[in-house]
Chains A and B, each alone.
Chain A
């Protein structure tokens, strides 16, 4: 199994509070991703990173920010949590070589409830 951990695994927070989720990898992969999973929507990309300090928005980035100061860590921050951000959040990693991009590996997920 790819070495990907997420913390916390479960969190309950109140509307309006800031929340930071952490993804940590031991694979030295270049690309890291944050997704949210909601019933009926599959996985939707929030933000991704293609290197240290290199990040970009996905399809559902409003209300979220990310940071990547080290290869192994990718942080997702909800600046002011809302109930619509109640979801399961997954981190993923992938690598490339000589222009060939390889499959993604996923972390175990963080279940976030905003009350």
Chain B
């Protein structure tokens, strides 16, 4: 079945450091991939998405590239800010007829000033 595996947290970085959160997936067909972000006390918000191989999703300085050969969708940001502290979820949706989304366990990011 479909699954998403992302690196365990928490990840603690200093402000302006480079961020990578790893995400790999297992899926039948050709899934769409997503990163969601959850700030304290709030629901999940879509951060970025990619719908086919080699697509790059980007938003608010975050980027992720859909790599079919390595079944990965790693999240990166060149210079993190304290305001980026949140929980990040990698997710996939199998486009072969399903409308359900499978979520990873989430990775908590702490950014220190």
Binding site for B on A (CB under 8 A): 4, 31, 33, 40-43, 45, 48, 50, 58, 90, 92, 94, 96, 101, 103-109
Query: A45: nearest residue on chain B (CB-CB)?
Result: B100
What is the number of residues of chain B that contact chain A, defined by CB distance less than 8 Å?
20
Chain B interface helix/strand/loop/mixed: strand
Chain A interface helix/strand/loop/mixed: strand
Give chain A nearest CB distance to B107 CB in angstroms. Answer: 10
Contact, CB under 8 Å: B42 / A96 = no
Give chain B nearest CB distance to A95 CB in angstroms. Answer: 9
B89's partner among A4, A40, A42, A92 (CB-CB below 8 A) is: A42
Q: Which of B34, B43, B49, B105 has the most CB of A within 10 A?
A: B43
A50's partner among B34, B99, B101, B105 (CB-CB below 8 A) is: B99
Contact, CB under 8 Å: A31 / B99 = yes
A106's partner among B32, B43, B100, B105 (CB-CB below 8 A) is: B43
